[in-house]
Amino acid sequence: MLATGASLLLAGGCGTLHGVKAPHDARRAAAEEAGETAAESGVRKSADSPDCTVAKCVALTFDGGPSRPTPKLLDILKEKKVHATFFLQGKGHTDTYPDTVLRMSREGHETANHTWSHKVLTELSAEEIEAEMKPVQDDVRRITGRAPVLMRPPQGRTSDDVSAVMRKLGLAQILWSVTAKDYATTDTALITRRVLDQTRRDGIILLHDRYKGTVPAVPGIIDSLRRRGYTIVTVSQLLAPASPEPGTIYRP
């Protein structure tokens, strides 16, 4: 289950947590480092890689899979021509549905790490944190040929100590700005409304493909966001031209 309030997202509070970046700040810094304006950096992008310095982008993400409903979700995303970021859990998921993980990768989705057993990382030692992360890294690498570079801490709880371990493992931390709390309802219309009410430019939407009401909500969410002028992207596309920095916390 997720943290229910912004005050719970960052262990220790925003004032003491280091290395937090918003997507637009990451893009701007990368462009300045390259000696470009943010707009100029978009000129080099292909049609398959939207320029979020110009487009009104929002990242669509799913936590805690793959699960039995995930192939249906992949069918919807394929039909809608949308790529999402999947923060994959290990126990009962990557070890149970490897073909679904492979399909995600082959169809252009971004595969990321959401720990082996969803333990709260701020309550663990450095060694225990690594034990939660490494099996998922190994599973995804074995299945897809590439280990994740992104992770999402369970309940959004992180700290400087957690960041140090993620830096060592080569993982950037991705939080969110939109949650439908779909773990607490099967009401598809409510899930849709919550997402649409909270979504703003450069936002990161958090959903869970395992819950009954979520996958049926996705077509309407995509169509409504597009009518409102949003371009739906992966997390890495949202950050580009910046590359995710290990240990850094990205939060809209």
List Cα–Cα distances, 3 to 21, 63, 82, 175, in angstroms.
20, 14, 27, 11
Task: With cut-offs at 50, 70 and 90, classify the pLDDT of residue 14.
Answer: very low
Token pair 């309550």 is at which residue? 123
Q: Is the pLDDT of residue 149 over 80?
A: yes
Residues pairing with 32 in the sheet: none
H, E, C per residue of 197-237: HHCCCCEEEEEECCCCCCHHHHHHHHHHHHHCCEEEECHHH
**Contact partners, residue 133, CB within 8 Å, separation at least 6:** 113, 115, 116, 151, 165, 166, 169, 171
Q: How far apart are CA 59 and CA 84, in angstroms?
A: 7
Taking only the tens place, the pLDDT of each residue in 217-228 is 999 999 999 999
Catalytic residues: 63, 208
- Reported confidence tier of residue 12, pLDDT bands at 50, 70, 90: very low
Of 210, 189, 198, 201, give the one whose Cα is nearest residue 233. Answer: 201
Q: Are strands 249-250 and 56-65 parallel, antiparallel or unpaired?
A: unpaired
The pLDDT of 19-28, averaged and rounded, is: 95
Alpha-carbon span 17 to 25, nearest angstrom: 17
Q: What's the pLDDT band for 37 if we cut at 50, 70, 90?
A: low
Convert the pLDDT of each residue in 173-206 to its tens digit: 999 999 999 999 999 999 999 999 999 999 999 9
Residue 1 reports pLDDT greater than 80: no
Per-residue pLDDT at 40? 53
Least confident of 23-32, 92-101, 197-206: 23-32
Whole-number Å distance between alpha carbons of 203 and 136:
26
Cis peptide before 66 (omega within 30 of 0): yes
Global pTM reads 0.91
CB-based contacts of 208, cutoff 8 Å, min separation 6: 62, 63, 64, 65, 182, 183, 214
CA distance 171 to 165: 9
Q: Band of the pLDDT at 48, cuts 50, 70, 90?
A: low
Categorize the per-residue pLDDT at 6 as very low, low, confident or very high, splitting at 50, 70 and 90. Answer: very low
User: Of all residues in the chain, what percent carry a pLDDT higher than 90?
Assistant: 85
116 pLDDT exceeds 70? yes
CB under 8 A, 24+ apart: contacts of 189-193: 189/217, 191/217, 191/221, 192/217, 192/220, 192/221, 192/224
- Residues 151-164: what's their mean pLDDT? 97
Under a CB-based contact definition with an 8 Å cutoff, are residues 109 and 158 in contact?
no
